[in-house]
């Protein structure tokens, strides 16, 4: 159930100014749509285009906050041509938000190649922090939090997975 009063209040807080030309890496909620920052909402409302992993998932978030924005798909299957298309938008003076389905883009999510090439081509990049599955898992674990290693997804094949685990087995830290 949507709290209309809260939605209207949140909308009134957001500025109405266009975002400067840049790629905005915007963290999105992990499950609960209310876990988004006001700054993230402001950016999503004020960029020209949103590059998202799955437009259907992002549409749910945008609808919840009454944001109507052009979306393009950017995911694991995106090509160099897709990245060049985003750079062309920047060259045309457009601002682009990069979002994943949940959490912070690039953290076990699409976006690394885009941001790497953006750096190589001197495009402005702005990170809008927020939810991260890595930190959420760590804080809920009850394990040591002052030193940890995010290893990400292990390889799917048995032998490769065993080798990856051998490489990290002696690390004296919480392993994620």
End-to-end alpha carbon distance in the chain: 34
Q: What is the pLDDT of residue 10?
A: 45
Q: What is the pLDDT of residue 107?
A: 86
Q: What is the pLDDT of residue 110?
A: 81
Q: What is the pLDDT of residue 4?
A: 45
Distance CA 100, CA 28 (A): 7
Q: What is the pLDDT of residue 3?
A: 45
Task: Indicate the pTM of the whole model.
Answer: 0.84
Block residue for tokens 């909620």? 29
- Contact 74/66 with Cβ under 8 angstroms? no
- Contact 90/123 with Cβ under 8 angstroms? yes
Nearest to 134 by CA among 126, 118, 125, 145: 145
Low pLDDT (below 50) residues in the chain = 1-13
Q: What is the pLDDT of residue 9?
A: 44
Distance CA 16, CA 8 (A): 14
């Amino acid at each position: 159930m949507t709290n209309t009063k809260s939605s209207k209040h949140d909308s009134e807080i957001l500025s109405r100014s266009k975002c400067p030309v840049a790629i905005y890496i915007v963290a999105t909620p992990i499950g609960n749509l209310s876990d988004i920052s006001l700054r993230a909402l402001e950016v999503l409302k004020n960029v020209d285009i949103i590059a998202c992993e799955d437009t259907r998932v992002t549409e749910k978030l945008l609808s919840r906050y009454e944001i109507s924005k052009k979306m393009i798909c950017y995911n694991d299957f995106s090509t160099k041509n897709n990245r060049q298309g985003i750079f062309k938008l920047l060259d045309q003076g457009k601002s682009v938000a990069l979002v994943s389905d949940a959490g912070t883009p690039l953290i076990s999510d699409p976006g690394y190649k885009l941001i790497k090439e953006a750096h190589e081509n001197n495009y402005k990049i702005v990170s809008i922090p927020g939810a991260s599955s890595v930190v959420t898992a760590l804080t809920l674990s009850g394990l040591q939090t002052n030193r940890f290693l995010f290893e990400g997804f292990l390889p799917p094949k048995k032998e490769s997975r065993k080798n990856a685990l051998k490489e990290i087995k002696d690390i004296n830290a919480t392993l994620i």
